[in-house]
């Protein structure tokens, strides 16, 4: 029988779909498997998708067979810039592109045999979905978690919109790595994720996630404990954050960010020209160059009053101070901070030493670098003699008493800017009355739908829509908010919508969420470490506090798995411009989905990067074909203990390897098993076990032979085999090794003999009497491997064929051999 993978693939995909076998109900012990839902791009599924979904699907199928009630849904992150841009280019509508793309994604995913519950499908651009974005936004607004403010924001010219901090990488746009981010001061919508900074940080510890991602999140949240001190400038109070309040008496200048919002007020008339010149220069420098640039600054002309000494401290603008961190103002302590030191040197600002390292004396005149360690305080009035740590406490206390500062915990995490000046996203459900006051859209008027009468081109398309822009209600005229939401808003709770995706009256049913949440196993790329994964955690906590999910649900994703990157055969990232892209569907067409799936997860450990290998997939195809032939021909009978040992050992290993996401090793164990099984008698039960173990990886072939064996149900729901420890015996392993050694010896001799131009046909093995059975039991194997007709004798047997008297050489565990 020829292996017709196309026919088998279609047959089973159709059956799964018709019988709705993967549709999940709330019943039994649940297990929620999820792969990060894709952005449906016009180019279809790429190899990374296929890899990711295979990893999830194998796990989902495995858990299902273990008796769990598995939820394994799929949806589409369908709002976003690429569709809008494609639409502009083609003078069409983003919806057209998106719907088209989703259609082809669904088709392709079905062809790869993924066991999704298609009844729960969702798409973010569906008004039934984004309605709930708007709804939850209103709830957040009520709670003060959504707010509008003027801020220093990042703007990408190519996206033509502002971006969240998380979407700026190295001063560039995350989607346009060649585009500099521009800094603007605009009024924008934010979500108050900083309210949850501490909890987000704390709960990282409890997650079963890759350490790498956890570290990245901790760093991103960036907690630092320090103190705040008030400096007065022109009778106004300015807060300055520092982790080194013990160096407070070493302050010889204040440095303020060039992007500081109220900068103007600090600049004196005399300095205005000079400052403007400096700011102009900064503005014209690329972010990238600023990073490399030497420190520079300009004096504002203003002076600050030191909170404790009441000295006059010059206020400088300095290019190394970040507007978005701390208060945008730092205290300059050249003696004990590297950057301040550099800056002070350049502008000849005084350097005052206030910390003396133990066992060492430093003098200002010879100081050629900042001392950043801790030590004993000097030149610090009543704090002299204290060590850094205690000085921090004392100084903070004094500041607090004088109401000039105090303890302060600072986070690097900023509030999440969600406004986007683009069309293809969820409209922010807000109105402005004639006076410009913010008026939320009432719940009953949701969803605020995206209008169709828009012109794509320059600026925000929503501003070109007449029906959208103006709202008349009760004789009043309102202007609608034209900003849409960041698409990460959509993906921050989609895993909850899957639980109840058709619910018209609610975001989702709380009881159902209680049943299914958290996601037990979540896979996706590591690139979302500080975006999606933080936002989704934040949302979950907000929903919990709004009583929309149970109080116990603190975290959405229990276990996270990051798959490796699939590279092209040349080792580079697959890209159209390089022309090295391998299309998964082409491979499935050529070799079948089973082969592709099996290959993807067997080439390397799923968490490590790997390069595509064309010969590798062909090798895998040969294996699948062999499997097919084996199952086509095999007749069931009885398994001997040796076979049982092998089967049960394999069950044990494979189960463990799958659980640990070492699919590659599981597949090797399976391959070894089939290698062994070749032409050996096997019981029906054991044969079924073999099929079951294959089912998560190669579901189509498995279903086919499961059916051929006469089973009426699906192997997809068959019970995962359990191993019987009693059937696994070390003795068989030893026996196998002994036989293996013998074969090795024979082959060795055979090689030598062949060099002497002899061609032996027969093999005689002489064993110790009690060992005879070991070898006699394995004559088939010995013959197959050596291609010699084999006879086994015990050394004490009479009438044995032994012309050279080799049998004398037999030792325990090492039989003697003779070839002729």
Per CB under 7 A, contacts with RNA among 586-615 are 603-605, 608-611, 613, 615
From 348, 552, 635, 751, residue interacting with RNA (rule: CB under 7 A): 751
Rank residues 212 and 476 by Cβ distance to RNA and give the closer one: 212
Kindly state the smallest distance separating residue 240's Cβ from RNA, in Å. 8
Cα dihedral 566/76/136/208 (nearest 10) = -30
* R_g (Cα) of the chain, nearest Å: 35
Find the binding residues for RNA in span 502-531 (CB under 7 A). 526-527, 529-530
Asked if 122 and 130 touch (Cβ cutoff 8 Å), the reply is no
Which helix (H) or strand (E) is 300 found in, with range?
strand 297-305
Judged by CB under 7 A, does residue 339 bind RNA? yes
Least separation in angstroms between residue 36's CB and RNA is: 17
- Nearer CB in complex with RNA: 222/550: 222
Determine if 814 is a binding residue for RNA (CB under 7 A).
yes
Q: By CB under 7 A, is residue 673 in contact with RNA? A: no
The number of CA neighbours under 13 Å toward the Cβ of 809 is 11
Comparison of 96 and 322: residue with beta carbon closer to RNA:
322
Residue 151 Cβ vs RNA, minimum distance, rounded to whole Å: 15
* Closer CB to RNA, 341 or 508, in the complex: 341
The nearer residue to RNA, 470 or 575, going by C-beta atoms, is 575
Pairing of strands 297-305, 161-163: unpaired
* Contact call for residue 271 and RNA (CB under 7 A): no
Q: Is 347 in the site for RNA (CB under 7 A)?
A: no
Which of 132, 320, 516, 628 binds RNA (CB under 7 A)? It is 320
Number of residues counted as binding RNA (CB under 7 A)? 90
CA 605 to each of CA 188, 429, 527, 664: distance values in angstroms, whole numbers, following the listed order: 44, 46, 19, 6
Closest distance to RNA from the beta carbon of 82 (Å): 20
Instruction: Collapse the DSSP code of 275 into the 3-class scheme (helix H, G, I; strand E, B; otherwise coil) and give the result.
Output: helix
Residue keyed to tokens 């994604």: 105
Alpha carbons 541 and 499: distance in angstroms, whole number: 17
User: Interaction with RNA in 222-241: which residues (CB under 7 A)?
Assistant: 222, 224, 226, 241
Site for RNA (CB under 7 A): which residue of 471, 749, 768, 779? 749
**Rounded distance between C-alpha atoms, residue 744 and residue 733, angstroms:** 16
- Candidate segments 100-108, 270-278, 329-337, 373-381, binder of RNA by CB under 7 A: 329-337
The only residue of 125, 244, 420, 532 in contact with RNA, by rule CB under 7 A: 244
**Residues 532, 536: Cα–Cα separation, whole Å:** 6
Q: For residue 314, say if its preceding peptide bond is cis, omega within 30 degrees of 0.
A: no
Cβ atoms within 10 Å, residue 8: 19
User: Nearest approach, Cβ of 810 to RNA (angstroms)?
Assistant: 7
326 binds RNA (CB under 7 A): yes
Is residue 805 involved in binding RNA (CB under 7 A)?
no
CB atoms within 10 A of CB 740: 13
Query: Should residue 789 be labelled a site residue for RNA when binding is judged by CB under 7 A?
Result: no
Residue from the set 118, 147, 239, 325 that interacts with RNA by CB under 7 A: 325
Is residue 618 within the footprint of RNA (CB under 7 A)?
yes
Q: Is the sign of the CA dihedral 644, 648, 651, 654 positive or negative?
A: negative
Instruction: Tell me: does residue 331 bind RNA (CB under 7 A).
Output: yes
Q: Which residues contact 551 (CB under 8 A, 6 or more apart)?
A: 544
Q: Where are the beta strands (DSSP E) in 157-251?
A: 161-163, 168-169, 172-173, 181-191, 223-233, 236-242
Q: Is 291 one of the binding residues for RNA (CB under 7 A)? A: yes
Q: What is the rounded distance in angstroms from the CA atom of residue 302 to the CA atom of residue 279?
A: 17
Using the rule CB under 7 A, which residue among 77, 111, 117, 337 binds RNA?
337
* Contact region with RNA (CB under 7 A), list: 68-76, 100-108, 502-510, 744-752: 744-752
Among the listed residues 115, 119, 102, the one whose alpha carbon sits nearest the alpha carbon of residue 31: 115
Q: How far is the CB of 799 from RNA (least distance, A)?
A: 20
Shortest Å distance, C-beta 394 to RNA: 17
Closest to 451 measured CA to CA, from 433, 439, 469, 438: 469
Task: Check binding of 811 to RNA (CB under 7 A).
Answer: yes
Tell which positions 675-734 bind RNA, by CB under 7 A. 675, 678
731 DSSP 8-state letter: H
Dihedrals φ, ψ of 255, to 5°? -120, 135
Of 36, 399, 666, 742, the one binding RNA (CB under 7 A) is 742
Residue 748 touching RNA (CB under 7 A): yes
């Amino acid at each position: 029988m020829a292996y017709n993978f196309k026919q088998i693939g279609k047959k089973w995909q159709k059956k799964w779909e018709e019988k709705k076998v993967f549709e999940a109900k709330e019943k039994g012990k649940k297990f929620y498997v999820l792969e990060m839902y894709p952005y449906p791009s016009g180019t279809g599924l790429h190899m990374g998708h296929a890899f990711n979904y295979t990893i999830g699907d194998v796990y989902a199928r495995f858990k299902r067979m273990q008796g769990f009630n598995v939820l394994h849904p799929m949806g589409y992150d369908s709002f976003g810039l690429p569709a809008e841009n494609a639409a502009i280019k083609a003078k069409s509508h983003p919806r057209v592109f998106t719907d088209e793309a989703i259609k082809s994604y669904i088709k392709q995913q079905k062809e790869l045999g993924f066991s999704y519950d298609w009844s729960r499908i969702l798409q973010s651009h569906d008004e039934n979905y984004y309605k709930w974005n708007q709804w939850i936004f209103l709830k957040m607004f009520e709670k003060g978690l959504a707010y509008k403010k003027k801020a220093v924001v990042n703007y990408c010219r190519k996206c033509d919109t502002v971006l969240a901090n998380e979407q700026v990488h190295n001063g560039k746009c995350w989607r346009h790595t060649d585009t500099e981010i521009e800094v603007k001061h605009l009024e924008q919508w934010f979500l108050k994720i900083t309210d949850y900074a501490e909890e987000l940080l704390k709960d990282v510890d409890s997650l079963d996630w890759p350490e790498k991602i956890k570290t990245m999140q901790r760093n991103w949240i960036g907690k630092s404990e320090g103190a705040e001190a008030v400096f007065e400038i022109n009778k106004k109070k300015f807060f300055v954050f520092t982790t080194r309040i013990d160096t407070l008496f070493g302050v010889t200048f204040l440095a303020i960010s060039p992007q500081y919002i109220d900068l103007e007020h600090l600049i004196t008339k005399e300095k205005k020209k000079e400052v403007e010149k400096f700011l102009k220069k900064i503005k014209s420098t690329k972010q990238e160059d600023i990073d490399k640039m030497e420190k520079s600054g300009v004096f504002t002309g203003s002076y600050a009053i030191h909170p404790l000494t009441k000295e006059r401290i010059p206020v400088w603008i300095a290019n190394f101070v970040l507007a978005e961190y701390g208060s945008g103002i730092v205290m300059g302590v050249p003696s004990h901070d590297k950057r301040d030191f550099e800056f002070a040197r350049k502008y000849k600002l005084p350097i005052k030493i206030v910390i003396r390292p133990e066992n060492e004396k430093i003098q200002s005149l010879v100081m050629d670098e900042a001392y950043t360690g801790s030590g004993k305080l000097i030149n610090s009035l009543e704090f002299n003699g204290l060590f850094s740590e205690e000085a921090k406490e004392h100084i903070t206390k004094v500041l607090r008493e004088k109401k000039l500062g105090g303890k302060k915990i600072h986070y690097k995490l900023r509030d999440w800017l969600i406004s986007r000046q683009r069309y293809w996203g969820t409209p922010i459900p807000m109105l402005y009355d004639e006076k410009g006051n913010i008026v939320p859209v009432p719940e009953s008027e949701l969803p605020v739908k995206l209008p169709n009468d828009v012109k794509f081109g320059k600026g925000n398309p929503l501003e070109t829509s007449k029906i959208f822009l103006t709202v008349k209600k009760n004789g009043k005229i309102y202007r609608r908010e034209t900003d849409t939401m960041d698409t990460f808003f959509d993906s921050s709770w989609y895993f909850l919508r899957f639980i109840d995706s058709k619910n018209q009256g609610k975001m989702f049913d709380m009881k159902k969420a209680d049943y299914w949440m958290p996601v037990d196993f979540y896979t996706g790329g590591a690139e979302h470490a500080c975006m999606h994964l933080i936002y989704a955690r934040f949302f979950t906590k907000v929903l919990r506090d709004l009583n929309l999910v149970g109080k116990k649900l603190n975290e959405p994703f229990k276990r996270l798995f990051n798959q490796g990157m699939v590279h092209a055969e040349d080792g580079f990232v697959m890209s159209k411009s390089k022309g090295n892209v391998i299309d998964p569907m082409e491979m499935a067409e050529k070799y079948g989905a089973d082969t592709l799936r099996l290959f993807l997860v067997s080439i390397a450990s799923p968490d490590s990067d790997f390069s595509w290998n064309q010969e590798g997939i062909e090798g895998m195809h040969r294996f699948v074909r062999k499997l097919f032939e084996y199952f086509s021909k095999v007749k069931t009978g009885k398994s001997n203990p040796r076979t049982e040992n092998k089967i049960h050992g394999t069950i044990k290993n494979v189960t463990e390897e799958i659980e640990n996401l070492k699919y590659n090793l599981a597949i090797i164990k399976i391959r070894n098993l089939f290698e062994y099984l070749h032409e050996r008698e096997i019981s029906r039960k054991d044969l079924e076990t073999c099929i079951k173990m294959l089912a998560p990886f190669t579901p189509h072939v498995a279903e086919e032979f499961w059916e051929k064996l006469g089973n009426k149900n699906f192997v997809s729901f068959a019970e995962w085999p359990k191993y019987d420890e009693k059937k696994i015996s070390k003795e068989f392993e030893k026996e196998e090794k002994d036989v293996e050694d013998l074969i090795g010896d024979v082959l060795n001799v055979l090689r030598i003999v062949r060099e002497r131009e002899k061609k032996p046909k027969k093999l005689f093995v002489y064993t110790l009497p009690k060992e005879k059975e070991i070898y006699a039991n394995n004559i088939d194997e010995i013959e197959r491997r050596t291609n010699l007709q084999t006879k086994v004798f015990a050394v004490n047997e009479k009438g044995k064929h032994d012309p050279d008297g080799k049998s004398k050489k037999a030792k325990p565990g090492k039989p003697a051999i003779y070839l002729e």
